[in-house]
Structure 1
């Protein structure tokens, strides 16, 4: 199957990739626009430190998208931050490869 089918990517999100901490707080890269599928459902996820955090939105996009934890993402006019980003790569199996991103 390869990549997630384009007909499923019905939404548009703007991603400002997290680049690290600067002297005045977090620093973000240049904003890029990605096609995505947005699921606005509250669920419990674990952050990078293992703490349980409530995610309000899950975004599914193409596997090649760059969206590390801490990135700023704008969805439907609302800006959120990435709790965790998970690569779903089937390694050649007939699965829809994609990036799953949990937002605060």
Structure 2
């Protein structure tokens, strides 16, 4: 297994994991700063619910990072966005960089 090289993770993002809803709104866990490579490109993706939605950014992180759908993410620009899906990209032993792809609204 080959992890994405740390020198490629040039950005820092802040992930606040979505915990659920309360009577006052969404609940989030403790914020954690994560090294990532952020690609601000608009593209169509499919959400966990099966709907086609527009993703305005994608963050690539090291394996093991968790970001449940609806988690709040602060990008290096200061823009706050929401996780559509977090996908584990594992090469299965091939010489490709294993990573987590976080699709953001």
Structure-1-length-normalised TM-score: 0.94
Looking at structure 2, the residues matched to 96 and 67 of structure 1 have their Cα atoms a distance apart, in angstroms, of: 19
Match in the other structure for 1:85:
86
Structure 1 residue 40: Cα displacement: 0.4
Residue in 2 that maps onto 1:11: 11
For structure 2, the residue ranges without an aligned partner over 5 or more in a row are: none
Distance 2:18 2:6 in 1: 26
Conservation of the 8 A alpha-carbon contact between 2:66 and 2:86: no
Which region of structure 1 is more displaced relative to structure 2, 20-29 or 50-59? 20-29
1:15, distance to aligned residue in structure 2 (A): 0.5
Coordinate RMSD, CA, aligned: 1.1
Question: How many angstroms apart in 1 are the aligned matches of 2:24 and 2:48?
Answer: 22
TM-score in terms of structure 2 length: 0.93
Moved over 3 A (4+): none
